[in-house]
Amino acid sequence: MSVRHAVLALLSEGPKYGLQLRHEFEERTGEVWPMNVGQIYTTLQRLERDGLVESDDSEVDGPQKAFRLTSEGAAELDQWLRTPPDLGSPPRDELVIKVLVAIHVPGVDVHEVIQAHRRRVVELMQEWTRVKRDADAEDTSLTLVVDAELFRLDSVVRWLDAADSRLRRFVPSEPTPRAATKPASAKREAVQR
């Protein structure tokens, strides 16, 4: 989450004070991302240094200082909104690694490992769903944030389901050192090509 760009977005509506920015940031993100005042002021100082925002009076710091967007700031915001986040390189997913490792650890049932994670993720989804259920129907920000979290967790459950059923059909044999290194790097090269 880019606090920097969120601040630029809020200032695109007109000049605002630091405390006001913090309040509005929390409100618009469904109060799921709490932010302290220090973070807001540090961000504003850096934005001012970079010429993306300007203040009424750069001599006096404090809550009575209003900030406004500069034309450079507006251009930066516009570019950021249209730039897709980096979804290209797969994250090093700890859960995937745990399951891959569990396949070959003696005395460990990989299906039990998968179920333990599945249960925990579904419990988290239940908690988020309760937040959505109790939310004001008009609180679109909160609903959208909760939806994003539910879709993310749902994809984790689906991956666990797929892994579970693949591993029931086909259990990989013990990797030999040679088999573990050579084909893997060959595959990576194939993907890069």
CB of 40 to another protein, least distance (A): 12
- Please state the closest distance from residue 66 (CB atom) to another protein, in A: 25
State the Rg of the chain over Cα: 24
Judged by beta carbon, residue 50 or residue 123, the one nearer another protein is: 123
Instruction: Give the nearer residue to another protein in terms of CB position, either 151 or 170.
Output: 151
Residues forming the site for another protein (CB under 8 A):
1, 31-35, 115, 118-119, 121-131, 133-134, 150-151, 153-154, 157-158, 161, 164-165
Sign, CA torsion 78/81/84/90: positive
Closest separation between CB of residue 140 and another protein, Å?
Answer: 12
d(CA 150, CA 9): 25
Nearer to another protein, 9 or 125 (CB): 125
d(CA 145, CA 7): 18
Q: Which is nearer to another protein, 93 or 154 (CB)?
A: 154
Nearer to another protein, 47 or 142 (CB): 142
Contact 131, 149 (CB under 8 A): no
Strand 66-69 versus strand 16-17 pairing type: antiparallel
Helix (H, G, I), strand (E, B) or coil at 67: strand
Residue 181: CB minimum distance to another protein, A: 34
Distance from C-alpha of 187 to C-alpha of 193, rounded to nearest angstrom: 10
- ∠117-183-115 over CA atoms, to 5°? 10
- Give the shortest CB-56-to-another protein separation in angstroms: 29
Tell me how far apart the alpha carbons of residues 22 and 41 are, in angstroms, rounded to a whole number. Answer: 9
